[in-house]
Amino acid sequence: MSTTLSQRKLYRVPEEGVFKGVCAGLAHYLGVPVKLLRLIVVLSLFFGLFMFTVVGYFLLAWLLEPVPSQRFDDEQGPSAHELLAEADRQLRASELQLREVERYVTSETFGVRSRFRAL
């Protein structure tokens, strides 16, 4: 079941965090990968938002409560096996579509239609 942002509460996740778990908590809240959020924070340090980022990070680290111990236990994502099976299914479907296009482009019908369009 998917919840909207207004139905969620923002926490720090110290168990998953590097420093106080602010990025991990924000990532869970926004539904984005933690590595992506950390990359955005690091890039913001170098591209003119140094003071805003540092002050905001420490403010959030001080204001946010740590996550309750059982909070994210039920939010397990798909396993590696499930992800690979889904990727395999998508690749097979794409391969079938590509074969259909190739079969049409190499057919006589396509050649005849192309010649008529050229007239």
Structure confidence at residue 64 (pLDDT) = 83
Beta bridge partners of 12: 66
21: left (phi over 0), alpha (psi -120 to 50) or beta: left
Within the chain, which residues score under 50 in pLDDT? 1
**What does pTM read for this prediction?**
0.50
CB 109 within 8 A of CB 117: no
74/57 Cα distance (integer angstroms): 27
Radius of gyration of the chain, Cα coordinates, nearest whole angstrom: 24
Structure confidence at residue 1 (pLDDT) = 45
Structure confidence at residue 37 (pLDDT) = 84
77/31 Cα distance (integer angstroms): 11
